[in-house]
Chain A
Amino acid sequence: MWDDQILSNFITELNRGTLTLCVLSQLRTPQYGYALLQTLAEQQIVLEANTLYPMLRRLESQGVLKSSWDTSESRPRKFYQLSEDGVMVYERLKRHWLEQHAHIQTLLKEEHPHG
């Protein structure tokens, strides 16, 4: 149905901006791509691998993340972690999100005062 498609587009738009915040929230400690994907999935955050891996690279090139290769295991893995700037970016994004969330909740409560 056409309206299902539009709804799906709205949800994608709604999620797009918040996914970066979700990813950053898990990177105070070093994580490799697939483990991060699983951690997010356990928290009901659906993120495709083909979105996450390029996103991590992009965030690294922007200086938000730093990375290092761990070669101690049977195969090498690239671990990502928040950089110093990344910690500051994450904190500010989190604060913005919480404020925005509070405002939206107020709006939605006004819409359904007895809900």
Chain B
Amino acid sequence: MDDLIKRYIAETIHHLSVGERADVQQELEANILDMVGESPDVETIEETLLALGSPASLASQYRGRPHHLIGPDTFPLYWKVLCIVLLIAAPLAALFSIIGFIITPPTIALAEMVARTFAAAGGAVVLVFFWVTIAFALVDAQQIPVAAEVWDRATLRALEEKAGKAIKTSSVIGDLVALAIGLLALTFLMTNSDLLALYSKEHAPIPLFIAVRLRPYLIAAMAVAFLSFLVAIIKLIRRRWSASILVISSGVTIITTAFWVFFLTRWNLYTPDLLASLALTQPRWQFTIRSLCGFCILMGAITIGTECYHALWKERV
């Protein structure tokens, strides 16, 4: 077989999934050889391959469905979320940077402080873009339909009768912004965990956690926050409460609560200096933290309860 035909087929199947490559390769070989005929000249081969279209376009015909990182159905929502979260997160990152300079004034020139502030905002833009894009790409890869899958008389009537089951967009956007800021903060803390400290005018900042031990928990916290981020996006896409969304959302709330309770009760994470500076005994400190855990569990329960109310009982007011 001609080398050009081999290269064309190799390039085409490169765009397909591994599972279908061998089959399509065999088929294309047979078809192209039929098309060019016996002992073809270079011009005939080139004309035939040009008529078949570029390898990418031919492969897309074989796939049937075009490949998108974020498909056309989801893109408008992706763009909206990205703009909103960026518009809030970037100025906030700059603001945090300025507050950092005020709390612990660095010994650098004003120009460098301005540059660092812009760098903080730029870093926030990159991170938000990364997190939002990854989350939407994952949701899109799962083919979560933007509209309800069933559109019948009952669904039509439900629009009117069950307006209470609508998921409030503003509240989800608020969650997304808060989670994006949380993800930014966690990413920042990966290399600056000593900033989580007890600040006082009398003494130098006392770190709350032992940095080396904290790092794996920060990664886990990012994973948990990212899960919540995904759930918020699914809510934004589906826009109405359903049993499946309730189960997913409640599941993630339980995972999040369990993670924070687990994290807060890792007693070997806290610095001894912290307890000393607070003049607390170990049992008293543990009681305080367990109370905080109780508060976390209560908040988780309230969140799940509120969502159950919206998803299962709330009707049009």
Please give the residue numbers on chain A whose beta carbons come within 8 Å of chain B beta carbons, in ascending order. Answer: 32-35, 48-51, 53-54, 57-58, 69, 75-78
Contacts and interface: CB of A to CB of B under 8 A. Distances in A.
Interface stretch (B22-30, B220-228, B238-246, B293-301): B22-30
Given A49-B51, A76-B26, A77-B30, A54 B62 contact: yes
Contacts of A54: 58, 61-62, 64
A22 B33 CA distance: 24
A49 B35 contact: yes
Contacts of B31: 32-34, 49, 53
A51 B23 CA distance: 17
Contact of B28 (A51, A53, A75): A53
Contact of B58 (A50, A69, A77, A78): A50
Given A49-B35, A53-B62, A57-B23, 11 more contacts: A32-B31, A33-B30, A34-B35, A48-B51, A49-B52, A51-B61, A54-B58, A54-B64, A75-B33, A77-B34, A78-B27
Contacts of A32: 30-31, 34
Interface in B55-91: 57-58, 61-62, 64
Contact of A57 (B27, B30, B51, B52): B27
Nearest to A74: B38
A76 B30 contact: yes
A57 B24 contact: yes
B283 interface: no
B105 interface: no
B62 A57 contact: yes
Nearest to A49: B52
Nearest to B59: A54
A81 to B, nearest CB: 15
B61 A33 contact: no
A109 B61 CA distance: 38
Query: Which secondary structure dominates chain A's binding surface?
Result: helix
Contacts of A35: 34
Interface of B: 23-24, 26-28, 30-31, 33-35, 51-53, 57-58, 61-62, 64
B30 A78 contact: yes
A51 B57 CA distance: 10
A54 B27 CA distance: 10
A77 B32 CA distance: 11
A68 to B, nearest CB: 12
B201 to A, nearest CB: 72
A75 B38 CA distance: 11
B11 to A, nearest CB: 14
B136 to A, nearest CB: 28
A49 B28 CA distance: 10
A53 B60 CA distance: 12
Nearest to A61: B64
Contacts of A78: 26-27, 30
A34 B27 contact: no
